[in-house]
Amino acid sequence: MKVAFLGLGNMGHPMAQNILKAGHHLTVWNRSRDKAKDLVAAGAKFADTPAAAVRDAEVAFTMLSDDAAVEATVLGEHGLIAGLPRGAVHVSSSTISVALSQRLQAAHRDRGQEYLAAPVFGRPEAAAAAKLFVVVAGDAKDVERCQPLLSAIGQQTFVMGSEAPMANVVKLSGNFLIASVIECLGEAVALVRKYGIDPQQYVGMLTSTLFAAPVYKTYAGLIVNERFEPAGFKLKLGLKDVRLALAAGDGVSVPLPVASVIRDQALEGVANGLGDKDWSSLSLVAALNAGLKPR
């Protein structure tokens, strides 16, 4: 298939690479060209604008950092929407607001273009290993058409309905749940530490019994060892996602009181210098609020 890929950051680069490896024709675009070097060396073409990159595409992926970047890349000057052929599919994998996804859906409809939201769960290592979990929503025939590409980047695809923005709701609520694991483990670990209990033993017990899930194992380790650098996912980006989850709730009048707590704790973290550390440092906010010192 003829594929375009816009956005070659931590996540986008390995995703594009896996699509190339799977044998598709790939055109890439990125704000700074040097991120594309190795892909070009491996056979991809580089385009100077989003519009140019998608000119001949059957499917065009976007994987960008936030709403502003997606808005600029898709709807801005020389944007994707100006170049994408009628009938071609825009697959939006970025973690963006439900509201922007709804606008993209409407904009593509107006121009006879197809639109899928296909955000992913997984950190950069998972993207490199093609082990992402892909959550996709949109027209069934588009999902089917794109399935080979989704299979090239992930280990499993979950279809969440025919309205694309639903996949964004699922992604944001999923990130909220991950954040809640960090926050709650952070509170619990602060509690046991202050009672003099060995936190390593404590989380060992949890993650070998009721909480034997990948997300607990990953984050319990980071929290107990206070290994907040290098950041796999920065606290300020985690804050952004919780903000978007709250906005998604606001949009349909759903209170999310734990998300509100997390937002406030994350703001406290950012206000006190943790914004560029891993979002597991949310646990450090809980520890400091309890009067504990970093170890």
Asked if residue 249 binds a copy of itself (CB under 8 A), the reply is yes
Identified binder of a copy of itself from the candidate list 133, 139, 147, 151, rule CB under 8 A: 133
Closer to a copy of itself at the Cβ: 111 or 194? 194
Other C-beta atoms lying within 10 Å of the C-beta of residue 93: 27
**How far apart are alpha carbons 55 and 136 in whole angstroms?**
24
Element (H, E) at 190: helix 165-194
Q: Which residue has the tokens 């986008």?
A: 12
**Which helix (DSSP H) or strand (DSSP E) does residue 154 occupy?**
strand 154-159
SS3 content of the chain, % helix, strand, coil (to 5): 55, 15, 30
Catalytic residue among 171, 234, 240, 277: 171
In this chain, which stretch among 8-16, 61-69, 140-148, 161-169 interacts with a copy of itself, using CB under 8 A? 161-169
Residues 105-124 that bind a copy of itself (CB under 8 A): 121
Is 38 an interacting residue with respect to a copy of itself (CB under 8 A)?
no
Q: Which of residues 134-153 bind a copy of itself (CB under 8 A)?
A: 135
Which parts of 187-216 interact with a copy of itself (CB under 8 A)?
Answer: 187-188, 190-192, 194-198, 201-202, 204-206, 208-216
Q: Is 170 in the site for a copy of itself (CB under 8 A)?
A: yes
Calpha distance 91→138 (Å, rounded): 10
**Burial class of residue 111 (count of CB atoms within 10 Å of its CB; 0-12, 13-18, 19+):** exposed
Counting contacts by CB under 8 A, is residue 237 touching a copy of itself?
no
Residue whose C-alpha is closest to residue 11's, from 105, 91, 100, 126: 126
Q: Residue 206 Cβ, how far from a copy of itself at the closest point, in Å?
A: 7
Hey, which residues does 121 pair with through a beta bridge? 133
Least distance from C-beta 171 to a copy of itself, angstroms? 11
Whole-number minimum distance, CB 157 to a copy of itself, in Å? 10
Q: What residues between 69 and 98 interact with a copy of itself by CB under 8 A?
A: 98
Expressed in angstroms, the distance from the first to the final Cα of the chain is: 52
Taking the least distance from each CB to a copy of itself, the nearer of 50 and 269 is: 269
268 binds a copy of itself (CB under 8 A): yes
Token representation of residue 49: 């604008």
Catalytic residues: 171
